[in-house]
Amino acid sequence: MRISELARRTGVTVHALRHYERLGLLVPARTASGYRDYPETMRREVVFIAMSRRIGFSLAAIGELLPAYRARRLSIETLTDALSQRVEAIDRQIAELQALRAQVLDHAKWLREQQPSSPRQDANERARSWPRTAARRGSGKDTR
């Protein structure tokens, strides 16, 4: 089948299919006139790649799993281990985002507190109390 047919049947863009080919994830045959010719079996591989991308696997990680998947030797244990590692990475991202959220809220609170109680409040006085960043908190260094 041609690339446009494969794209239509898998829901993956032609651009993505060409990208996967450049990375060596897909290796289509070529017709005498140079057109890509994808066997029906490659549809299954493209769906595997697309599903893996949707849940956040990198193309490099997919490339490591793909040979076993192609050979129908990708064990449930290997796949569940990879999924568990992905969950751990997601949990780390969530923790990082929660810490970033807390820092943004701290800054918003600090800014609200900087509204002058009187028109005479000195701008330098407000600047001196700028909150420290999380990376340097407690280091004893002034982060102004």
Could you tell me the CATH number of the domain that includes residue 8?
1.10.1660.10
Query: Would residue 94 count as lying in a domain?
Result: yes
CA distances 51 to 45, 48, 84, 130, Å, are 10, 5, 16, 46
Instruction: List, for residues 1-42, the tens digit of each pLDDT value.
Output: 999 999 999 999 999 999 999 999 999 999 999 999 999 999
pLDDT at 144: 42
130 — pLDDT class (breaks 50, 70, 90)? low
Domains: count for the chain: 2
Both tokens of 44, joined, read: 């299954």
**Both 89 and 62 in a single domain?**
no
**Both 16 and 34 in a single domain?**
yes
Query: Would residue 101 count as lying in a domain?
Result: yes
Report how far residue 100's alpha carbon sits from residue 119's, in angstroms, rounded to the nearest whole number.
33
Residue 30: phi, psi to the nearest 5?
-120, 140
Query: Would residue 61 count as lying in a domain?
Result: yes
Instruction: List, for residues 44-88, the tens digit of each pLDDT value.
Output: 999 999 999 999 999 999 999 999 999 999 999 999 999 999 999
pTM above 0.85, yes or no: no
Q: Which secondary-structure segment (H or E) carries 67?
A: helix 59-70
Q: Which domain holds residue 19?
A: 3-74
Report how far residue 2's alpha carbon sits from residue 24's, in angstroms, rounded to the nearest whole number.
18
